[in-house]
Structure formats: structure tokens, C-alpha cells
Chains A and B, each alone.
Chain A
Amino acid sequence: MKRRWLTAPYIIWMLLFTIVPLCIVIYFAFTDSVTGAFTFANIVSILDYASIFLRSIWLSVAATLLCLIIGYPVAYTIAQCKPRTQRILQMLIMLPMCLSFLLRTLAWVALLEDTGILNSLITSIGLKPLPLIRNSGAVILGMVYNYLPYMILPLYSSISKINPKLVEAAEDLGCSRRQSFTKVILPLSTPGIASGITMVFVPAVSTFYISQKLGSPGTIMVGDVIESQFKGAYNPNLGAAMSLILLILIFICIGLSNRVTKQHGSEEVTPL
């Protein structure tokens, strides 16, 4: 009964199409764009973009925290419903994920623009239009909108797995509602929190579409710069160096979040 060979095609595939490409990224990051010689110049020049890296991290941390704060009550409420309602609500959370996020973001542009739906409502009652779009707030809004389901679903699945008898037991033993929440439900849902954070933070920090559409020239993000290196001014070496740094930053952030949540003695976190 040896079935290990079944894994062979998979391992070869993953080596060829994830490990090798990553090695090529590393190769490009350390070579000169013209001569092809080994150089640290690309990595060093990234210091010029430190503010962009910091901004990307700030905006996506803000979006992730907002997702967590908004998403937790939703996941909790869903988990309290009857099984049938739970299924329907879960489906309704998943539905927007299946639809083109480009178009949905565009709908936000139409809503928020100076001449957009909200502002024409505001001006029609005689007020001055508000600066709703092209600022950090709009970018965060776009991220929260796009990635909220990725926070709610893992939260929901870990909350719904909590045995309700545990909560009952805690309350029988004299815990107040609040205490039973902070002492029982919250710690037991940390795996969900950790995977939710990862699933929101990673796409948010690397996005380029959302900041292009909802941001301004002053809210440019890492993703924008990487995209422009590959699609506009052709400098794949700088783009590769930035991708590499981004990757390292993300691994550090995920490592930290895993560490914090692991302290509660919960199981290993996978992003699903």
C-alpha cells in the first residue's frame, strides 16, 4: 500500500511553477537591468520607496483591523442562528467573492466620485460635495469592502466549532456574559482570527487595483509600483527586488500574527 508516488506529479509541478519562479525573482532582484551582473543596487534603491512600503503596511493594517472589528460581530451573529439560516447567511457572505472585484470596486468609484451618486445626493439637498474619493480613507474602504468576506468566513467557521456547552459551563460557574465571551469564545476563536488576518492582510498590502481606482497620486502603494515596473517602464529587476522585499515583509507579519495567536495554545494556523 504505497501511494507516495501519487504525490510525485504534484511535487514536480509545485517545484517547477512555484519554487523555480521564486528563484528567478531572486535572481532578477540581484542582477543589473542592463549588464546582467550581480548587484545590490536594486535592493538598496528600495530605501527610496520606504515611505511607500510603510504606507502600504499602514493602510492594510488599518483595513485588517477594521475587518476584524466589523467581521467578528457578524461571524458571531451568524454562528448563533439556526443551522438553516446559518447556511443561507454564509452563502450570502460568499456570493460577492464570486463576482468580479474589478467591477465592484468600480461601483464604489461611481458612488464616491465628486460627481458620483453620494455627492450628487449631497449637493441636491444644497450642501457642498464631500471629498469622498482619492484619499487614504477611500482606499481603506475599498480594501475592507473587498476583503471583509475573507475575514468573516474563517471567523465564522472557528466560532461555530466552539461547543456551546463550554459557554454554558462558564456561565454556570459564575461568568458574566462578557466574561464568558472574553474568557471562552474569544480565546477559542483565535485560529479563526489569525487566518482571517492573514487572508485580509496579504491581498490588501499587495493590491494595486484598489489604490489606482480609489486612491490619489498621494496614496500610491507597493503593488502599484511593482505593476508599473512590469507593465509601464520596463525594469523587471527593480520590480523583482520590490516583490522580494514585499514577500519577506509578509512572511514576517504572518509569523508575528501566528506567534501572537499561538500563545493561547491553539493549533497551527493555516490560512483556511
Chain B
Amino acid sequence: MKKIPLLFLALLLLGSVFMFFPKQTFAAPVTINVYNWGQYISDGTDGYIDVIAEFEKAYPDIRVNYMVYDSNETMYTKLQSGGNAFDVIVPSDYMIDKLIAEDALEPLDFSNIPNYRYLDDAYKNLAYDPENKYSVPYTWGYVGIIYNTKYVNEDDVGSWDLLWNRNYAGKILMFDNPRDSFAIAELLLGYSLNTDDPEELTAAAEKLKEQKNLVQSYVMDQIFDKLEREEAWIGAYYSGDYPLMLEENENLAFNVPEEGFNLFVDALCIPKGCQHKKEAELFINFLCEPEICAENLEYLDYATPFSAAKEFTDPEMLEDEILYPPAEVLAKGEAFHALSTEGTQLMNTLWLSVKTQENVLGKYLILTGCALVVCIGLYLFFHIRKKRLRRKRGTYYPS
């Protein structure tokens, strides 16, 4: 009888193996690990192109293992903490700068990336990679405020101040990474986005602490869900993600604040320690193929640095002022550069203190003290009562 549960267990184990084995995929000779931002490649939803499937079709010997991160810092941490070999990553400008300085990127072999010739000259020799040795730009965009017109008064819109507006307390979303959040505070305070000055960084942190009570959560890609479902009304995010949200909720609007904004380029790179460099370069090349690039960006809604791809793009998209803002708007943008090591460290520490420090220690100490007093009181009370009871009993029943 005891064998029945055992048999059952064995069946369960076997069953679960066979049940969940999808059609046997024959191991391809080479697997490349692509590490990209979330929602940053067309994956075949809603009839858009499935870029990775197309690539695997074009290069049957290469399989793509695709994983996502939600901020440059997360990606950097994954690289730093070791344990994973990546073949393609998509850092932003300042992060590329930093990675090059730390000698963490492989120089690219452009003979494997012939499509590089399609790249616009405006995106060559940029400050983060002056010799064009390490990176191939993927998209560009900028940061703005997305808000819900149903709840937000138009008169309040126009400045980054909107994120500090008390009327919308609890309905505001903020970036969950130090660089983007500090940038907004720095813009409001009139500092450069690339300041290393400890005093300015501290002032920016103070500004962010002021805002903390109004913030619903610090988020990255969760912002999609929160804004679409109107759980939050205002959030700062990347321009190219706005059209995706607009598709789900038509009340959302985009604002380019008057103080200026961060203009960014995300580029494809190969980190040191990559195990299949050639295949990774083929993948990068594939993404730069004008037709693929155009179809990919149709889903992404980010702007492309490849003018050749614009031929294949829906002209309506090209006229979209949010995607391709006019030159006078773009002039207000400022790009990030890598901060000094001390600057980065200070920013990280300050960011942690923004997120964690609050003036409630006193409250908690008092509460804890009271609880301890009550506990000790109760303990003494019962202890004395017990003793007394024992003594009383002792008088009745002398032993």
C-alpha cells in the first residue's frame, strides 16, 4: 500500500517532464546572448515583425537568447557581478562612455557590419565614442512628461514642476534609476546634467527628497501599466514609449518641458568576454538592415539614426513631432556623459538616501521603546502573580 504514493510521485515527475517538453528544438551550434531594454525590440505582437525570429531564419546556425533589463544601471550591475557572458548589449550614451573608460567593450569589426554605411553622419563621432570603434547607434530619443488629460489641468503642464505639484500627490511616477531622476532635479535647479559638483548633486538630492512624499512609486517599465490603467496620472519617461501607451489609453498626452531635457542615443555594443563575437556582429548588422530597422521601429516608435530606413517607414511616423521633434525643440536637449567615478558613487549614495532616508526614526524608536516597556511590564506582572500564587498555594498545601 505504501508503494502507491511512491508510484504516484514517480508518475507525477515523469508526467511533468513530458507534458512540458515543447517540440524538440535541435540545439543550434551557436547561441548568442542579447541583453536589451524591456519593450525594445519588435517581438511579433499585433502583427508587427518578429525581429529575432527573422534573424534566426536568415541565419539558421545562430540562436538568440534574449533577455531584458530596465535601466543602464541594472545592465551594468549584471555585467559587473559576473556570472553571465553577454554578446550584445544596448547601453545608452553615458554608459557606453563609462564602459569604454573601464575597458569593458570590444572594438567592433566593421567588416562584419557592412550596414554601418547607412548610418547618418550626425550619429558618427559622438562624444561617447569619438572614434566610432565600439558602438552602432540603435535608436535615439529624449525624456519628457506623459500625463493624463482627464485628470491633469493643462495650466499646470509645461515645466518639470508638474512632477512636484502637490495637487497630484500620490499620482506621480518617477524614474527608478539615479541618472534620469537626478537629471530632472538638475534641470529644475538650472544645473548641467553632467555636473560632478558634490554641492550641486546634494542640492539635487534634496530636491528629490522634497518630491518623495508625492511620488506613487519609483518605476521603470511598470509605468506602461500604471499610466494606461490610470492608476497614476503623471510620469516622466522616454519619448518613444509614449506612442505605445497612447495606443492603450487615448487620454495620455506628452509634454516637452521648457527647462530642457535629456537627449539620448542607445547603441549596440559588444562587451568584453563575449564568446561569439562574429555572430554578435552579424546580429548587429541585421538590426541595421534598413528594412528590418524600419519595421522594428514601427513597433518601437523610437527615432532612427538610419535615414536609409526612413524610406521603408510609414510617412505619418516621420511627420510625428514627438518622434522627430523640430530642430528648435531638439536644441534644448542635453546629452549625458559619464560622470567621474566619485561623481557616480556620490550619486548612487545620494539616490539610495533619497529612496530610503526619512525622518521617522524618532517615531519608530519611541514605538519600539513603548513596546519594550509593555513587554517587560507584562512579563513582570505575570512573573509576580505566579510567584504570589505559588506562595498562596504554599500556605494552603505545605509540602
Contacts and interface: CB of A to CB of B under 8 A. Distances in A.
A233 B73 contact: yes
B82 to A, nearest CB: 11
B277 interface: no
A134 B170 contact: yes
Contacts of A115: 229-231
Interface of B is mostly: helix
B67 to A, nearest CB: 14
B356 A49 contact: yes
Contacts of B58: none
A217 interface: yes
A225 interface: yes
Contacts of B310: none
Contacts of A131: 170
Nearest to B357: A48
Interface in B331-367: 348, 351-353, 355-358, 360-361, 364-365, 367
B217 A216 contact: yes
Contacts of B107: none
Contacts of B351: 233
Interface string A98-131: 0000000000000001110000000000000001
A192 B317 CA distance: 65
B69 to A, nearest CB: 10
Interface stretch (B90-98, B128-136, B208-216, B258-266): B208-216
B395 interface: no
A131 B213 CA distance: 15
A113 B231 contact: yes
A235 interface: yes
A52 B356 contact: yes
A217 B215 contact: yes
B71 interface: yes
A31 to B, nearest CB: 16
Nearest to A215: B217
B364 A54 contact: yes
B71 to A, nearest CB: 7
A114 B216 CA distance: 11
A234 B357 CA distance: 19
Contacts of B367: 54, 58
B240 to A, nearest CB: 23
B177 interface: yes
What does DSSP make chain A's interface, helix, strand, loop or mixed? helix
A51 B362 CA distance: 8
Contacts of B24: none
Contacts of A161: none
B76 interface: yes
Given A134-B170, A217-B355, A232 B74 contact: yes
B212 A234 contact: no
A174 interface: no
A233 B229 contact: no
A236 B80 CA distance: 11
A131 B216 CA distance: 12
Contacts of B217: 134, 216-217
B71 A232 contact: yes
A131 B74 CA distance: 32
A235 B80 CA distance: 10
Contacts of A234: 73, 76-77, 80-81
Contacts of A232: 71, 73-74, 77, 176-177
B365 A54 contact: yes
A113 B358 CA distance: 25
Interface residues of B, number: 34
Nearest to B345: A34
B73 A220 contact: no
A120 to B, nearest CB: 11
A170 B347 CA distance: 67
A234 B231 CA distance: 31
A55 B168 CA distance: 27
B358 A230 contact: no
Nearest to A52: B356
A54 B177 contact: no
A9 interface: no
A228 interface: yes
B236 to A, nearest CB: 15
A231 interface: yes
B81 A233 contact: no
Contacts of A217: 212, 215, 217-218, 355
B178 interface: yes
A50 interface: yes
Given A217-B215, A232-B177, A233-B178, A54 B368 contact: yes
B77 A55 contact: no
B200 to A, nearest CB: 20
A115 B216 CA distance: 14
Nearest to A131: B170
Nearest to A53: B364
A234 B102 CA distance: 15
A240 to B, nearest CB: 12
A218 interface: yes
B246 to A, nearest CB: 18
Contact of A233 (B77, B231, B358, B368): B77
A225 B77 contact: no
Contacts of A233: 73, 77, 178, 348, 351-352
B166 to A, nearest CB: 16
Given A52-B356, A234-B73, 10 more contacts: A54-B361, A55-B364, A134-B170, A217-B355, A218-B212, A230-B77, A232-B73, A233-B351, A234-B80, A235-B348
3 A-B pairs with the lowest CB-CB distances in the bound complex, closest first:
A54-B364, A51-B361, A234-B77
11 contacts: A51-B357, A51-B364, A54-B368, A134-B216, A217-B215, A231-B74, A232-B71, A232-B74, A232-B77, A232-B176, A233-B351
Interface of A: 48-52, 54-55, 57-58, 113-115, 131, 134, 216-218, 220, 225, 228, 230-236
